Amino acid sequence: MNKCKRCGTCCKKGGPCLHLVDAGLITQGIIGPADLVTYRAGEPVFDPVKAAVFPLSGDMIKIKSAGDTRQCKFFDQACGCMIYANRPLECRLLKCWDTREIEEVFLKDTLARRDLLPEGAKMREIMDSYDRIFRIADVLAAIEAGVPIGPGDNFLEGIKAIVEADQLFRQRAVSLIGIGHDMLDFFFGRDVREIVQAVRGMSLEGGR
């Protein structure tokens, strides 16, 4: 095989990570903040080139999945890619029969949230505050070491308190600033609960 038959198998495995060259897709409104999810610095990701997991050093922005599936939200079973003419770099480079080109760009020149917001934008300040308060690397390191985080000495309660504070911050961003619910994952990244559960497999029932 040496030609894409547009079967959609790769689209069903997840959306692409965006690169600087994809910025125009957002500024032109082809892809919107509600279509995106940010993975923040400190979140562990799998590097398929090195076949290893490592923590991100900065933002990685991806197109969201559809519902509870892994499938890219722009994939339609009947029509295929709904933005095919404007698909992002990784989608243009992906050849399932030869992955060398996409491996070349993996996590290079990636797009970050701040690339999409003008200097001095109020939203930058709010994101900075969020990133300072909810440093995911610290949370995961505390879990790894089994040490309590926060003011108390109860390990699980400390994690739950951070999860609750994260939810409250997001609720306030919606009610006080007017950010759409569907844009929270772009501006603030995946929530702490989701990351902790995904990365450490911890049950945090009752934490919300």
93: tokens are 């480079």
Please tell me the distance from the alpha carbon of residue 141 to that of residue 70, in angstroms, as a whole number.
Answer: 27
Provide the mask over 33-72, with x wherever binding to ligand SF4 is found by CB under 6 A and - wherever it is not: ------------------------------x--------x
Span interacting with ligand SF4, options 6-14, 104-112, 151-159, 172-180, rule CB under 6 A: 6-14
Q: How far is the CB of 14 from ligand SF4 (least distance, A)?
A: 7
Which residues, 6 or more positions from 108, have their beta carbon under 8 angstroms from its beta carbon?
A: 19
Q: What is the per-residue DSSP string for 3-50? A: S-----TTGGG-PPBPBGGGHHHHHTTSS-GGGEEEEPTT-EEEETTT
Query: Looking at 66, 81, 165, 183, which residue binds ligand SF4 (CB under 6 A)?
Result: 81
198 binds ligand SF4 (CB under 6 A): no
21 binds ligand SF4 (CB under 6 A): no
In whole angstroms, how far apart are CA 38 and each of 31, 60, 155, 159, 189? 14, 6, 27, 21, 4
Q: How far is the CB of 81 from ligand SF4 (least distance, A)?
A: 3
Query: Looking at 39, 74, 169, 187, which residue binds ligand SF4 (CB under 6 A)?
Result: 74
15 binds ligand SF4 (CB under 6 A): yes
